[in-house]
Amino acid sequence: MNNYMNLLFLLVLTLAQCAPKNEVQTEANIPSKIQGVEKAVAVKQTLDSIPATNPSRMMKDRSRNVENINAKYPFDIPLENTVREVASSSELIPNNGKPTLVLFWLTTCYPCRIEMKAIAEKYNQWRAQENFNIVAISTDWDKNYDNFAKMVNENNWPWESYRDLNREFRKILPGGLNGLPQSFIFDKNGTIAYHSRKYRTGDEDKIFDKIQSLNRN
């Protein structure tokens, strides 16, 4: 029994001597490589905790390369109306030798709505004085199609409204349609004669002045 106890005592003593001394571990005395590994692991764990993007909600760019788009008025860009009918801009944008006002807008753009409201209020007066065309084109993504159709139907604007199906006008027009609303007036030859970006009260009158000027020339 005594031999057994002695053996057990020696074993415990040996283990105690081999055990590492207690030490307060701080970032300062951890080798830098180990720190880097631990930080990398922490970053990965954080990224792994973020939910994966739902592919069905991703916005897919279907637009053609610019060299494949007809950049000459009235272009060849697919336009969609409020009942999902699609046709080329070459068929839908008038090309009849008269000035054509094209309004580019977005359903989430408040100034766009203000501009079109201002133009709609003066539209009958304008038409009584001048002969011109007017078309509105939304640059909304597919996911906002329902909002586009709803706004067009509710506002009952006195002009045709379409959606740039693949968002291609931004590739061929000056400034890439960066910042809406944007208004373009094309003269009888299809050349850009007027271009405005954003909207300030009274801008609609500048548009009409340009239309009148083009009709006099």
More confident residue, 100 or 32: 100
Asked whether the predicted pLDDT for residue 217 surpasses 90, the reply is no
| Closest to 191 (Cα-Cα) out of 100, 88, 127 | 100
Domain span at residue 167 reads 73-216
The Cα 160–Cα 201 span in angstroms is: 23
Per the domain annotation, does 7 fall within a domain?
no
- The model's pTM: 0.74
The SS3 call for residue 83 is coil
**Residues belonging to the chain:** 217
Per the domain annotation, does 109 fall within a domain?
yes
Backbone angles phi, psi at 134, to 5 degrees: -145, 135
Per the domain annotation, does 25 fall within a domain?
no
Tell me the pLDDT band of 40, cut-offs 50, 70 and 90.
very low
Per the domain annotation, does 60 fall within a domain?
no
Per the domain annotation, does 212 fall within a domain?
yes
Q: What is the mean pLDDT of residues 170-197?
A: 97
Per the domain annotation, does 90 fall within a domain?
yes
β-partners of residue 134 are 101
| Closest to 185 (Cα-Cα) out of 99, 107, 115, 123 | 99
The Cα 92–Cα 74 span in angstroms is: 8
- Of 12-26, 48-62, 83-97, 104-118, minimum mean pLDDT range: 12-26
Per the domain annotation, does 205 fall within a domain?
yes
Determine the pLDDT at residue 187: 98
Query: Terminal CA-to-CA distance of the chain, rounded, Å?
Result: 123
Element (H, E) at 47: helix 32-48
Determine the pLDDT at residue 123: 98
When divided into structural domains, the chain yields a total of: 1
Domain of 176, CATH number, reads 3.40.30.10
Determine the pLDDT at residue 63: 97
Which residues are CB-neighbours of 170 under 8 A, at least 6 positions away? 139, 176, 177, 178
Asked whether the predicted pLDDT for residue 60 surpasses 90, the reply is no
Other beta carbons within 10 angstroms of residue 158's beta carbon come to: 11
Per the domain annotation, does 95 fall within a domain?
yes
pLDDT tens-digit series, residues 63-122: 999 999 999 999 999 999 999 999 999 999 999 999 999 999 999 999 999 999 999 999
